[in-house]
Amino acid sequence: MFIINNLIKHIEDWAPPGAGWEKDNPGIQVGSGEKPVRNVFLTLELDEKSLEQAISKKCNFIFTHHPLIFKPLKKINTEKDPKAKLIEKIIKHDITVYSAHTNLDFTKGGVSFVLAEVLGLKNIKFLENEESNQFKVVVYTPENATKNVASAMFAAGAGKIGEYEKCSNLYKGIGTFKGSAKSNPKVGAKGKFETVAEDRFEVIVNEWNLNKVISAMINAHPYEEPAYDIYPLKNKNINYGFGAIGEIEEHLTPEEFLEYVCDSLN
């Protein structure tokens, strides 16, 4: 059964909410993600007219670009507030409303890139990439555990660079430790100084995936107390940014280009 949360996962794998403006409000606006997807309705923003269209088409998932709820609601007074009345009708018809706003603007292949493609631009790239919102995570594992730890971290979203995934670096080394009387070491014995052949495994992680990746790493790691480091990065994120820029194949004057834009966008 394909539920709404399955669809949302596909959307957010492409345009993560964390990639958007920090004051934005993407995600589920009203309703639940645990229902089966019946029909999907797309709209720039939700108003009474578009809601009625969605209801008439028996859609139970409405995907908007502009969030229905941008600022926190202090009251839901259906007698005086049109938005409250809209929310009441959404709930009454058991519809889920979901929004992808600046995260859709800032992602590769998102709003700006699609507009550039409609205009026929070539060699499209971001006008400006987002400032660093990535970390390098380094974890030390016994050699026989690296594969499992790496798989768990990759599954949680680590190791994505541009069009590549499961990107990492691996170095061989020796780890040392001595557990206290209260320790419960998976390798060696408590109270004894141990040396273990270990791998230094390092990956890039987006900020919005960091907690999930660390949790996955700790759960997959055989050590009672895994040793790991988290380094903030200064390089810009190549996967997300603002606007788009490209090249047009023929030389046009500003007036000709404006006419070309009008024709391209009907």
Q: How far is the C-alpha of 148 from the C-alpha of 145, rounded, in Å?
A: 6
Give percent of the chain above pLDDT 90: 80
Average pLDDT taken over every residue of the chain = 94
- What confidence score (pLDDT) does residue 43 get? 97
For residue range 242-264, what is the model confidence (pLDDT) as tens digits? 999 999 988 889 999 899 999 99
Contact predicate 45/64, CB 8 Å:
yes
pLDDT in tens, 60-108: 999 999 999 998 888 889 988 999 999 999 999 999 999 999 999 999 9
Asked whether residue 152 carries a pLDDT value surpassing 90, the answer given is yes
175: enclosing H helix or E strand: strand 169-178
pLDDT digits (tens, 9 = 90+) for 195-220: 999 999 999 999 999 999 999 999 99
What pLDDT, on the 0 to 100 scale, is given for residue 54? 97
User: What fold characterizes domain 4-104?
Assistant: 3.40.1390
- Which CATH number, 3.40.50.300, 1.10.3720.10, 3.30.70.120, 3.40.50.10420, labels domain 132-235? 3.30.70.120
In the predicted model, is pLDDT for residue 184 greater than 90?
A: no
Q: Using 50, 70 and 90 to split pLDDT, how confident is the model at 162?
A: confident
- The pLDDT, as a whole number, for residue 148 is 98
Distance CA 233, CA 148 (A): 26
pLDDT at 48: 96
Taking CA atoms, 67 is separated from 64, 108, 176, 178, 240, in Å, by 7, 20, 52, 54, 20
Predicted confidence (pLDDT) per residue in 4-30, tens digit = 999 999 999 999 999 999 899 999 999
Q: Does the structure show a pLDDT above 90 at 222?
A: yes
The token duo for 51 is 């809601």
| Residues paired with residue 198 on neighbouring β-strands, in sequence order | 142, 173
Identify the pLDDT of residue 70.
Answer: 92
What pLDDT was estimated at residue 247?
93
Question: Distance (Å, rounded) from C-alpha 58 to C-alpha 68?
Answer: 20
Give 189's pLDDT tier (boundaries 50, 70, 90). confident
Common-topology check for domains 4-104 and 132-235? no
Q: Could you tell me whether strands 169-178 and 61-64 are parallel, antiparallel, or unpaired per DSSP bridges?
A: unpaired
| Domain-wise residue ranges, the chain | 4-104, 108-129+239-264, 132-235
* pLDDT score, position 132: 83
pLDDT of residue 137: 98
